[in-house]
Structure 1
Amino acid sequence: MTDARTGSAPADLALPPYVVGIRNEVERGCSQLLRRLLHSRSGLVATIHSESVRVVTQYTKRGRPAPAALARYGRMVAEWHTAAGVQRTRAQELVDEGNQLLACYWDAAWQRGRRRTAADTEPRMDELRPAGWLPGTMALDPAWHRIDDWLDSDSWYAERGRDEAGPPVVQALAILRTQQPGAAAGRRA
């Protein structure tokens, strides 16, 4: 901890078991939230898959737009986004709580280390843990910001060929984005 006055942790710092445990708990909690989302909304996901085929067939194969079908599809996707957004918020809460526990742990470790080297036990401001020194901090998995990727379960395990247009879900989501008001003006929904 003597090198920490620079405000950063060494890259090769071995994390203590407590920190590793907190990180594992947060990771496990976020995975459980994803699993619960996919399980509780499995019917919705299946319906989105079947409606995706209908939308893609209507728009690309037949070339006849069907606003009512697209509106129904958009409602289903919005329901998915709302459910996933709730779980993403919960996952972010887990990450924030974990980082708060880590901050408390490192504050205590810093003070304990300082007391061993100083005769006085009253901490001074210049002896507090540097704000930037917080080894083991966590961030929300970026996948939580790409929730539509979870609808395309085929891409989880296999690479697609370059010539392949992609599964109907991906194509239907692209159609939905381009057909929304303001999409022609360059805005993305």
Structure 2
Amino acid sequence: MARFDKLSDRVDLGEKTLEPTAGQTVGPFFAFGLDYAKKHEVVYPHSPGSVILGGTVYDGGGAPIPDAVIEIFGSTPEGTVPTARGAFRRDAHSFTGFGRAATTDEGRYEFWTLNPGPIDGKAPFFAVIVFARGLPDKLHTRIYLPEHEDLLAADPLLSSLEPEDRATLVATRLPDGSLQHDIRLQGEKETVFLAF
């Protein structure tokens, strides 16, 4: 049996370069490794300052997507980045800023969270990642709070967009204080996604 001392003994590395592995479509087995108790409860429901952030995820034809996964991360209301541990083991009092929600059969997602505050004087937003069948990779976007109009106007990303595209990134505050924000993967009113 041959013995190899280093990788170059096994493989001719020559001048060849390796190409990255192609992206793989997500799903359909989201529950395996992604599911855990209270994953959508970034804060304990109905605790002081808590709000619901929810909406519907739509495909390019305008149909709701029943098996997407949305992840959010947001700052504290004071504008600091949370450092508490326990994003995967909810303890009903630590704010980690991170949450994950699967969409319902009607394509709806929902989080219990806190309103993020401005970090370094910048417009507050939730960082969002979308996973869905048919996507070769995850999609990154943001959900901005509708308040702080001066900060929204000064935001580099928002100010670089046309008004109709800008609107795809700003949530609507409902009379009960909750936030409504739909995510459209393609088509009319397609959400602006960020390249990473």
Q: TM-score range by the shorter chain?
A: under 0.3
TM-score, with structure 1 as normaliser: 0.22
The structure where strand makes up a greater share of residues is: 2
The structure where helix makes up a greater share of residues is: 1
TM-score, with structure 2 as normaliser: 0.21
Which has the bigger relative contact order, CA under 8 A and spacing at least 6?
A: 1
- The structure with the largest alpha-carbon Rg is 1
